[in-house]
Amino acid sequence: MQPVSPRVGLFVTCLVDLMRPSVGFAAVKLLERAGCRVEVPVGQVCCGQPAYNAGDRAGAAAIARDIVRAFEGFDYVVAPSGSCAGMIKLHYAALLGEDSEYGPRAAALAGRTFELTQFLVDVRGQAGMGGHWPAKATYHDSCSCLRELRVKDQPRRLLAGVEGLTLLELPEAEACCGFGGAFAVKYPQISDHIVAAKTAAIASTGAELLLAADLGCLLNIAGKLRRDGRAIEVRHVAEVLAGMSDSPAIGEGTD
């Protein structure tokens, strides 16, 4: 039976912690609005994906064990990121599968871990979170949401409940934004070529606001839009759903 008021451990993600705490607070607000008790375990730092994708399997496995321990005892683990949720949900099993102690614990954690919009819609049955945000917006599906977690409909359903918000679909929505973690720094020219196609597609919609569920993509896209002088606001979908309009948009200054 599903607990009436489940205890949710928030996996903040290292990027949100460092770059954009507003997203973390927005997630807390949304989870509480959906009837959850939210805690933030202190043992968490990063899901281990940078090491995993760099080929440091032992390092990634060590981090995975830390995270398994830190999030034991919660009914659910929720991350405002498809990438980090996908890491815990799908890749921890590959990393710790051989480990007789941690393998089963990682598998149990995987079953309880969700990306934020996926959790709100699929687990908590939220039809919309209310709110008001008058803007023409478009939505970028991160590769991890789209292909690892198969999350596509959930954010759109939640955004449909935001008063004043019009959602315009992005052409070539299946295409990667070119972030890819260390890829963007190791192969910056290729990465830039890919994000240029993405920002051109975004501009072609006529949207004034670009939303996504992964901060990595958002930093990449915001950085490119700004450099090219395109006046399109960039925010995490949780900020809009929680109505957190106080902080400047990603990459936007205070004056």
Partner 1 sequence: MEATCHRFGAASARALADEQLQQALRHLRGNFVVRRAQAAARLPEFDSLRDAARAIKDEALEHLDLYLERFAAKVEESGGIVHWCSDAAEARAVILDICRGLGARTVTKGKSMVSEEIGLNDHLAAHGIEPIETDLGEYIIQLRGETPSHLIAPAIHVTRAQVADAFRAAHTDLDPARSLDEPATLLAEARDRLRQRFLAADVGITGANFLVAETGSTVIVTNEGNGDLTQTLPKAHIVLAGIEKVVPTLEDVATILRVLARSATGQEMSVYTTLSTGPRRAGDRDGPAAFHVVLLDNGRVRMLGSEFREALRCIRCGACLNGCPVYQAIGGHAYGWVYGGPIGAVLSPAFLGLAAAPDLPQASSLCGRCEDVCPVRIPLPRLLRRWREVAFAARIGAGRSRVVTRAWVWLARRPRLYRLLTGLAARLLGFAGRREGAFRFLPFASGWTATRDFPAPEGRTFHSRWQQRERP
Residue 231 engages partner 1 in binding (rule: CB under 8 A): no
Find the helix or strand (DSSP H, E) in which 159 lies. Answer: helix 153-160
Q: Of these, 51, 96, 110, 120, which contacts partner 1 (CB under 8 A)?
A: 51
Q: Of these, 14, 135, 200, 201, which contacts partner 1 (CB under 8 A)?
A: 14
Residue 155 engages partner 1 in binding (rule: CB under 8 A): no
Residue 16 engages partner 1 in binding (rule: CB under 8 A): yes
Beta bridge partners, 22, equal: none
Residue 223 engages partner 1 in binding (rule: CB under 8 A): yes
Residues 175-214 that bind partner 1 (CB under 8 A): 175-176, 178-195
SS3 content of the chain, % helix, strand, coil (to 5): 50, 15, 35
Residue 17 engages partner 1 in binding (rule: CB under 8 A): yes
Residues 132-151 that bind partner 1 (CB under 8 A): 143-144, 147-148
Nearer to partner 1, 77 or 222 (CB): 222
Compute the least distance from the CB of residue 94 to partner 1, in Å: 8
Strands 132-140 and 209-212: parallel
For partner 1, how many residues bind (rule: CB under 8 A)? 76
Residue 171 engages partner 1 in binding (rule: CB under 8 A): no
Nearer to partner 1, 41 or 166 (CB): 41
Q: What are the counts of helices (DSSP H) followed by strands (DSSP E) for the chain?
A: 14, 8
Compute the least distance from the CB of residue 2 to partner 1, in Å: 26
Residues 69-128 that bind partner 1 (CB under 8 A): 94
d(CA 226, CA 249): 11
Residue 18 engages partner 1 in binding (rule: CB under 8 A): yes
- What lies within 8 Å, CB to CB, of 196 at 6+ separation is 224
Residue 131 engages partner 1 in binding (rule: CB under 8 A): no
Q: Of these, 8, 34, 52, 162, which contacts partner 1 (CB under 8 A)?
A: 52
- What lies within 8 Å, CB to CB, of 47 at 6+ separation is 11, 13, 14, 63, 64, 67, 79, 84, 87, 88
Q: Are 96 and 89 in contact (CB under 8 A)?
A: no
Q: Of these, 9, 48, 82, 155, which contacts partner 1 (CB under 8 A)?
A: 48
Count of positions (residues) in the chain: 255
Q: Are 102 and 96 in contact (CB under 8 A)?
A: yes
Q: Are 216 and 179 in contact (CB under 8 A)?
A: yes
Q: Are 159 and 188 in contact (CB under 8 A)?
A: no
- DSSP class of 197: H
Residue 33 engages partner 1 in binding (rule: CB under 8 A): no
Nearer to partner 1, 66 or 122 (CB): 66
Residue 20 engages partner 1 in binding (rule: CB under 8 A): yes
Compute the least distance from the CB of residue 82 to partner 1, in Å: 11
